[in-house]
Every structure is written in C-alpha cells, then in structure tokens.
Amino acid sequence: MTQLRAVLWDVDGTLAETERDGHRVAFNLAFEAFGLSWRWDDARYGELLHVTGGRERLMHDMDSRTDAPLLADERDALARALHAKKNALYADLVAGTGIPLREGVLELMRECRDHGVRMAIATTTSRSNLEVLLRRHMGNRWAGWFGAIVCGEDVERKKPDPEVFVKALKALGLGPLQAVAIEDSPGGVAAARAADCPVLVTRSFYFGRAPIEGAIAVGPGLHTREGWRPALAQRPQLPADGTAQRVRLADIAGWFSQRDMIADFP
C-alpha cells in the first residue's frame, strides 16, 4: 500500500486565521493610509475571498465602485500600491501583536518531522506574508522544515488552479497520490483535487459553512478529534505529551489509506 510521504500545507486560514486577523485588517488600514473611505467588513471580505490573490481581490472590488479610477492603467497602479501597503502593514501586524498558529498545527508539523513525513508549503499568498508568519512562530530557520515552498509569486495561475500543488509535488519529487494537502477553502480543495492530490479540510472562520467537494476528511481543526467526518475514534487517555485530544499524524495516515473514499461535505 502507498505510504504517506508528504503533507502539503495551505497558509491563510489553515496555518492561522490570517485572513480574519491579518489581511482584512491590513487592507482596511491601507485604505485609510491612502485617504480612501473604502472598508471591508467581515461579510464583504468573506465574499471577496472567492477571488484569490490580494491584488486581484482589490481589482475585483474596484469593478463595483463608482469612486475607483476609470482608466485601467490607473486602477492597476492603485491596486498594486494598495497591495504593497497592505502587505507592509500585514507584516507589522504579524511581527507586532502576532497572529497565533491554529492549535495543533505546530504539533502535527513536529510529528511529520519526527516520522520522516516531508512537508511543503503550497500557498498563493505573497512570500513576504508567509516569511513573517513562520519566522515569528518557528524562528529564523523555519524554511528548513519544508522540502518545498511555493508561493503566489511562483505560479502563473493562483488557486483554484492546481499549479501551486503541481509545483510543490515536483519539487519534492513525489507523485500526487503520495501526499495529503491540508486546506481550508473550497478553492484550495479544488486546486488540490485538480492536481489529483488527496485533501483534508480544517474549517476556518470565513469558510466555516462552505460546501466542500471531494475531500478525504473535513473537520473543525487539528486541535480536536471531535466533529470530524469521517469520525475519529476518541483517545481513551490523554497522550504522554500532555496535549489535548488533537488530530495526529496516524489519523491523517488513516484517512490517506482510505483516499479512494472521497466525499462531498455540503
């Protein structure tokens, strides 16, 4: 039977609630810094997240604004400038107050490292956003944890296009059926599936109720064994390391071994 050789991590929403606590906040601060009255509340940002890529999201939003520049060149220049400002403000937020990693993420990463399961980052966020987040939580040598790091700048087409997963797998020298992707959004799931890679979903703030098609498992997060479909057995005792009843690498390997039984989670 094929062994699980790698875990491919999405970033925003999966490693941390960076959309809610970082990007949206930073976009609004960037609008303010540019003297614009535009603001994205949670509901609007949730809609806009269906557009992948911060600059692309800005361009999309401007399509429905009467006070956005009319000329395409000016609109493009404004989106680029706002996006650069947003990323700088995001870096300040992450380095300053900080955004915690979701519970269970670092623990699973450690387990992967200790058991020889390789890891990659497969994100369409900007590289600078990833760097500042993981440096803060994993130290200056964070990149050494990953056999491949593929970000927004490394692809021509962002998720839901499979390119980011295809590149990550190629860099690891693995086929898609030797790895599991961990995602939080329908677009991310679609990208992994289009790369033929089994995918599991840890629900995040903005995609908590989004219908998920074709995942091997869906649950509330790596911190708990409750609420997962397919269900996880409850562990009779707390593990020796004292952590709560979190999802373990063995659980992920178990779902992976049943990867032909993909399901829709409406």
Adjacency order of strands within the sheet including 118-122: 148-150, 118-122, 6-9, 179-183, 199-202, 217-219
Cα separation of 57 and 65, whole Å?
A: 13
Decide: is 17 part of the binding site for Mg ion (CB under 5 A): no
Which 8-state DSSP code applies to residue 120? E
Please list the residues that pair with 119 across neighbouring strands.
7
Q: Which is nearer to ligand XBP, 124 or 202 (CB)?
A: 124
- Of the chain, the end-to-end C-alpha distance in Å amounts to 30
Residue 196 appears among annotated catalytic residues? no
Q: Which structure tokens are listed for 72?
A: 């395409």
Contacted by 126, from ligand XBP, Mg ion, none: CB < 5 to 8 Å by type: ligand XBP
The nearest distance, CB 180 to ligand XBP, in angstroms, is 16
Q: Choose the catalytic residue: 10, 61, 161, 251.
A: 10
Phi/psi of residue 11, each to 5°? -110, -75
The nearest distance, CB 116 to Mg ion, in angstroms, is 26
Residue 61 appears among annotated catalytic residues? no
Decide: is 163 part of the binding site for Mg ion (CB under 5 A): no
235: nearest Cα among 222, 224, 221 = 224
Query: Of the candidates 159, 203, 246, 248, which one interacts with ligand XBP according to CB under 6 A?
Result: 159
Contacted by 46, from Mg ion, ligand XBP, none: CB < 5 to 8 Å by type: none
Decide: is 12 part of the binding site for Mg ion (CB under 5 A): yes
Decide: is 54 part of the binding site for ligand XBP (CB under 6 A): yes
Which 8-state DSSP code applies to residue 118? E
The CB-nearest residue to Mg ion is: 13
Place of tokens 């992967």: 112
234: nearest Cα among 221, 247, 222 = 247
Decide: is 13 part of the binding site for Mg ion (CB under 5 A): yes
Kindly list the distances between the CA atom of residue 234 and the CA atoms of 206, 241, 254, in Å, as whole numbers in the listed order.
27, 17, 14
∠ at Cα 45 (43, 50), nearest 5°?
110
Residue numbers 184-203 binding Mg ion by CB under 5 A: 184-185
Contacted by 202, from Mg ion, ligand XBP, none: CB < 5 to 8 Å by type: none
Cα separation of 183 and 203, whole Å?
A: 8
Q: Binding pattern to ligand XBP, positions 106-135, x when CB under 6 A?
A: -----------------xxxx--x------
Contacted by 178, from Mg ion, ligand XBP, none: CB < 5 to 8 Å by type: none
Residues that bind Mg ion (CB under 5 A): 10, 12-13, 184-185
Active-site residues, by number, are: 10, 12
